[in-house]
A and B are shown apart, each in its own frame.
Chain A
Amino acid sequence: DAGITQSPRHKVTETGTPVTLRCHQTENHRYMYWYRQDPGHGLRLIHYSYGVKDTDKGEVSDGYSVSRSKTEDFLLTLESATSSQTSVYFCAAERLGGDGYTFGSGTRLTVV
């Protein structure tokens, strides 16, 4: 297991407020990913990181930014939350042995 912890597990916030979600891993993995999961869309990649300070955009990156100042932490920030960003957010990191990926338990974000 990649030892992934996401925080918070649940959050309700108001439109226009900034929100930061944290993903913490304990296995020194290089690659980490942020996804959002919505009904009818499956998992969609927001941003990913291939090392400290090395990040790139995924398919739904608008309205989101990320930072990776340490190997173990990958932060997802919504600068000004909108109702369309209500979703479940999953973080993932590469599995030990490089044969797949392990996901965190998810963060359920509601923007009201």
Chain B
Amino acid sequence: EDKVVQSPLSLVVHEGDTVTLNCSYEVTNFRSLLWYKQEKKAPTFLFMLTSSGIEKKSGRLSSILDKKELFSILNITATQTGDSAVYLCAVEDRDDKIIFGKGTRLHILP
């Protein structure tokens, strides 16, 4: 059965800290891995990763995929209170199905 496992489930850090969120997966016919940020309503897209070892970066956020070890990490440097959210990892297979992990709830203390 396909699955996506995120860790930790929740995390509390102080503003300015760096955090690393983890996502491991077991998916038949992997196509891509997706990261989303969800604040109050709908998830918003962060990154899409398809190739191993190539870092995607957007401001203080970055992500990398390891297709051999079947995991991805999302890094946030110099965290701000606005980074507080649930971060969702999802994996898409070649049948166009997308499976989500349960998310990591990140809380940044001022």
**A-side interface residues toward B, CB under 8 Å?**
31, 33, 35, 40-45, 48, 50, 56, 58-59, 90, 92, 95, 99-106
Contact = CB atoms under 8 A, between A and B. Distances in A.
From DSSP, what is the main secondary structure of chain A's interface residues?
A: strand
Interface range, B side: 10 to 19
Contact of B41 (A100, A101, A105): A105
Nearest to B4: A42
B45 A31 contact: no
Contacts, number: 48
Contact of A102 (B45, B48, B90, B101): B45
28 contacts: A33-B98, A35-B100, A42-B88, A42-B103, A43-B43, A43-B88, A43-B90, A43-B100, A44-B100, A45-B98, A45-B99, A45-B100, A48-B98, A56-B95, A56-B97, A59-B99, A90-B43, A95-B45, A99-B48, A100-B34, A100-B45, A100-B48, A101-B45, A102-B45, A103-B44, A104-B42, A105-B41, A106-B42
Interface in B33-92: 34, 41-45, 47-48, 88, 90
B96 A48 contact: yes
Nearest to A50: B96
Contacts of B102: 40-42
Contacts of B42: 90, 103-106
Nearest to A92: B98
Given A43-B90, A45-B100, A104-B42, 13 more contacts: A42-B103, A43-B43, A43-B88, A43-B100, A45-B97, A50-B96, A56-B95, A58-B97, A90-B42, A95-B45, A100-B45, A101-B98, A105-B42
A50 to B, nearest CB: 6
A35 B45 CA distance: 16
Nearest to A41: B102
Interface of B: 34, 41-45, 47-48, 88, 90, 95-103
